[in-house]
Amino acid sequence: MEQLLRFLMRYGGTFLFVILEVFSLLIVVNQNSFQHASFLSSSNQAAASILNAESSITSYFGLENTNRQLAIENTALQNRVALLQGRLELLKDSTHGDLQIAPDQAYHYVSAKVIGNSINKLQNYITLNKGKLDGVKPEMGVVNDQGVVGIVTAVSDHFAAVMSLLNSKSQLSCKIKRTNDFGRLVWNGIDSDYAQLLEVPRHADVRVGDTLITSGFSAIFPEGIPVGIVTQSSRPSTSSYYDITAKLSTRFRTLTYVKVIQYQNKEELQTVQKEGEQ
């Protein structure tokens, strides 16, 4: 016992060092399984309330920009309402007022404010001020009026952590609007305005200026949300795929308000997909 104590007195520092380092490394290596642990992420209640306080101060700086964005979105929505109302009137006339509007709306949006956001790391995350109690769950898609933002990874009661597209672990299935060729969008960590589209086969026809949209294959994003615009495409002779760089349509530097997408038939779709694979 005495010897053990003497050993610990003498090498205690090193001993503790090894324990702490092994512990941290284990967490790093297993980070995928910790990703949904909200106490270890910025959706943690304490951390998020500090971020919330910070954003309530800093949000004033971007107010003008935000106002403009909201005004644009507002106009677009009003136009849409007007258009749809017109169509509704038309339909009403032709069916003598007995119109039944289809009751099921597959997607539901929850608007949220960004209270934490980074773009200067390899793995960037965004923190939102909506959580479990607002119906936000892990694996839900996040968009804003410009395009795709990311995917929810962890939630607490009032806050959510979102893996941004600017994350080396993020993968998004998208397709080229003009030709419907699809690929996988990843980020190489270098420029926060550009991402890379992989696995588009050589025989496809990709041109600079083509628009990328979500493919709608997963239950996370509906089809047709803008992702980016192709700025570079080449066919390296050593590869059977295209080399495509796209400018992201979402401006991550000035992200303030976003919408979380709840897909009502998600479980049904996933069950069908799983059954299909068997």
Interface with another protein (CB under 8 A):
12-14, 16-17, 20-21, 23-28, 31, 34-35, 37, 40-42, 44, 47, 50-51, 54, 116-123, 125, 153, 161, 168, 188-192, 253
Cβ-based nearer residue to another protein, 11 or 107:
11
* Least distance between another protein and beta carbon 138 (Å): 13
**Do 140 and 155 contact (CB within 8 A), yes or no?**
no
Q: How far is the CB of 194 from another protein (least distance, A)?
A: 10
CB 30 to another protein: min, Å: 8
Nearer CB in complex with another protein: 13/236: 13
What is the closest distance, in whole angstroms, from the C-beta atom of residue 183 to another protein in the complex? 20
58 vs 273 by CB, closer to another protein:
58
Q: Which is nearer to another protein, 54 or 267 (CB)?
A: 54
